[in-house]
Structures are given as C-alpha cells and as structure tokens.
Amino acid sequence: MKYPLDCEASFKNTYLFWLSRFIRNKITGLSNRQVNNKERLAQILQELILGFDSIKELKLVVKEVRNIGINSIHVYYIPLEKLYTFLINYGAASMKEIDEELLSDFLATETSTLSDATKKNYRIALITFFNYLDKQNEAENGNVYRYGIELKNWGGLSGKSGTKLPSFMQKDEVSTFIQAIESYPFSSKIAARNRLMIKIILYTGIRVSEAINIDLKDFNKDGNAYIIQVRGKGNKPRVVMIKEEIIRKDLKEWNEVKSSSNNLLLCNQKGNPLSQAYISSIVEKILLSVGIRKEKNGAHMLRHTFATMLYQKSKDLILVQESLGHADINTSRIYTHFDKDRLKQTTDIF
C-alpha cells in the first residue's frame, strides 16, 4: 500500500511515519539467522506499522531489534536518526524540502570526524531510504514524488583523509588487561561466563557477533586446545583455536552454573544470546578499572589487538586474513602499519 509523501500531521510525525516503515522494510530484508525471540520480533513489526509518537520510542525499539539478533539494523537507523535531528533544526516543514544539496550539507556537517567506512554507511543509508520513499509514496491523483537521490558528487570520501587506524593495546597493556579479567568483581553467577567470553574474543580475534553465537557442537577439544568453528560475515565458516589451559577453569565453572539447556556456549540466564552492547560495556569497564583508555574501548578493540600482535609475531598477512575471516587481504593490510621492526629500519637511514 502506498501513502502520500506528506501527511496532514506535523513534519516530525511524517518523518517518523516513513522512518518506521523503512526500518520495518529493512528488518524483513536482513538476515534473521541469529534471531532469538521470534514472537517479540513479530510484535515489533506490527508496532512499526502503527508508528511512534517520538524518535526516542523508535530508538528503543531499534535497540531491542538488535538485541533480538538483527544486528546490522543500526547501520541504517543511526544516520537516519541523525538526519531527523538535522532536519528539525533546519526547520523543515515538508518532506519535499529535502533534496541532494540539503543531504550533502547534512553529510558534510555530521560525518566530518568519522572514518571513510562510516561515511560510506551514512551515504548508503540515505540513498536506500529515499529510494524506498520513491517507490512507496503516491498522491491521491496517482502522481509519485521522485527524489532520485544518488549523492555521487558528495566530496566527503575523496582521498583517505578520513581513514583511521584501529585502536589496539600494547603488549604491556594486554598483560594488565588479562590480570584485570581475573580480578574484576563480576556477579558470582556470571563471573566465569564473562571471563570465558572475553578470553575467547581476545585470544582468537573473532568478532563479538561470532562469539555470542558459538554452538556447543562447534566447540570441541583437540589435544591441549579447543577448536571453534564460527560463522562470519556472509555466513562464511572458519576455524579458530584457543589453548585449553587459558579457559579450562572458567569453562568448568560456567558449565556448573549454566542453567540453560540450549546449544549456545555463552548465554544469559534465560538461555538467550548475549547482546554485543553488553559485552562491549563489560570490556570497557575492565579497561577503565586499570586505567587503559583508547579511542574505542569496546570489545571490537580486542580483535584489533589480537590481529596486531599476530602480525607483529608472524609477519604473515595470509595468516592474519584467515584468522580474522577477511574476504579481501587488503582489509588485513591495515595491521602492517604496526610493524615496529620494519619502522625501526627507517631510523637508520642517515
């Protein structure tokens, strides 16, 4: 069913109407392999049809969708939430006031401090949203309003000035962090689980989304190590390993208190997967407790730390690519920037 681009309500309500329907459209199109609460997701899809009175209500629902297992929905939502605030401050009264020039102004002001990868996500979110509007709006006389947004001439991505090197821990900081994992005052029921979870991410370099979905059938002991099969982006499987001695104690304690009988290695007390936001908050608290502060203190920083140390020790870019599950080796090349042995050669030129 199609709707007029501008309804009789205020601009705020009109934008929220379209954003809610767009988010619903994206949820139904994204991978649902990790969904852990089908009933609640079905309810949310109905709520998105009814719409919301405020952006805060919609934001809470999107956060819930992520926790349910549609993790990538925020890639579309965050830029469009920022656009909502930008348009309100601009004083927009009609959806028809939005054009390429206004969107370019938005990108220039809102993404100036972001990486090129994030800038690209913003651009894609805008193009996808307005393509959706092109297809779904229709006036009473049957006419359709076309945006035709392409943003080809936006110059925010020219060059590599927006690219940032990833945050990672130095070797001494890693030692401090590992000690802090053992001493941090977790709640007794989840202490072993949290230590196990963080160690697996740190010692294998797997993504947080991969860690929270480890199936027990894919977690097997092999000699003095555990072999873990994980599924990365695009549902591509790969295998990582971790020494048994690193997780033996925590794994034993977690298995003794784990109340759920599901097949997840790591879960909450109801048996549902842990959220990525929860894990990142735990990692950040441990880091801050020992005075380690990085530009990004979340759990993904542990993956960068693993990859950096792996390359420094092995000088094997193929090994880094295979361990991290990168489809393109050029993605792995970022870690060559931290090769101190090669950099030291530059100090002897003169």
* Active-site residue flag, 21: no
Dist. CA 295–CA 8, nearest whole Å:
45
- 215, β-bridge pairs: 264
Q: Which amino acid is at 300?
A: H
Catalytic residue among 26, 119, 123, 207: 207
Q: For residue 327, which phi and psi values (nearest 5 degrees)? A: -70, -35
Catalytic residue among 15, 300, 304, 311: 300
187 burial type by CB count under 10 A (0-12 exposed, 13-18 middle, 19+ buried)? exposed
* Active-site residue flag, 335: yes
DSSP type of residue 141:
T
Q: For residue 162, which phi and psi values (nearest 5 degrees)? A: -85, -10
Question: Under DSSP, is residue 232 helix (H, G, I), strand (E, B) or coil?
Answer: coil
* Active-site residue flag, 337: no
Map tokens 């779904």 to a residue: 136
- 230, β-bridge pairs: 238
Cβ-contact 90, 50 below 8 angstroms: no
* Active-site residue flag, 326: yes
Catalytic residue among 233, 243, 278, 342: 233
The interaxial angle of helices 191-204 and 300-314, nearest 10 deg, is 40
Neighbours of 240 (CB within 10 A): 20
DSSP type of residue 299:
T
* Active-site residue flag, 233: yes
Dist. CA 213–CA 161, nearest whole Å:
36
* Active-site residue flag, 293: no
For the four alpha carbons of 33, 36, 41 and 42, in that order, the dihedral sign comes to: positive
Count of residues in the chain:
350
SS3 for 5-72, per residue? CCCCCCHHHHHHHHHHHHHHHHHHHCCCCCCCCHHHHHHHHHHHHHCCCCHHHHHHHHHHHHHHCCCC
Which residues carry out catalysis?
207, 233, 300, 303, 326, 335
